[in-house]
Amino acid sequence: MDDVLADGHDAVFIRGLEFEANHGYTAPERKQTRRFRVDLELSVPLASAASSDSIRDTVDYRKVCEAAVRVGTESTFKLIEALAGNIAEAIRDLYPRTAVKIVVQKLAPPCRGAPVSSGVRLSYPPRIPQ
């Protein structure tokens, strides 16, 4: 998702959505709050929205942000893959015709070498074909 114009498909994207949560594989890790960063790309035809200027014809990124933060802060997961998958599923519940690409990073993970972040990237097709 480094280049939002790379594949030529219409998309709504959200970059750098952050929240604090207690996700982690070990119990001590889940006791400590850490910051997480989420990047999303939602593939959806946008020609109608471009001509209508109506939010009904697109993805409301405010609702997407609310869903991502809700899942990230109201649930606890051992694996970052499960966190990413649950966020993607919540978005697909809102917009079943939308393909979702998600990147979730744990900032300053508790690892030797002090990495800036660790994370995963997942892709989900639309539930209902576009």
Q: How confident is the model at residue 7 (pLDDT cuts 50, 70, 90)?
A: low
- Confidence (pLDDT) at 1: 47
Query: H-type helices in the chain, by residue range?
Result: 27-31, 47-52, 61-74, 80-94
DSSP 3-state assignment of 34? strand
| pLDDT at residue 5, rounded to an integer | 46
For 21-58, write each residue's pLDDT tens digit. Answer: 999 999 988 898 999 999 999 999 999 999 999 999 99
Residue 126 — very low, low, confident or very high, per pLDDT cuts 50/70/90? very high
**Per-chain mean pLDDT for the chain:** 92
Mean pLDDT across 83-101: 97
Scan for tokens 């972040």, then name that residue: 117
Let me know: does 72 contact 91? Beta carbons within 8 Å. Answer: no
The pLDDT, as a whole number, for residue 85 is 98
Query: What domains sit in the chain, N to C, each tagged with a CATH number?
Result: 11-124 (3.30.1130.10)
Which of 4-13, 18-27, 85-94 has the weakest average pLDDT? Answer: 4-13
Neighbours of 102 (CB within 10 A): 24
Query: Sign (positive/negative) of CA torsion 48, 46, 55, 129?
Result: positive
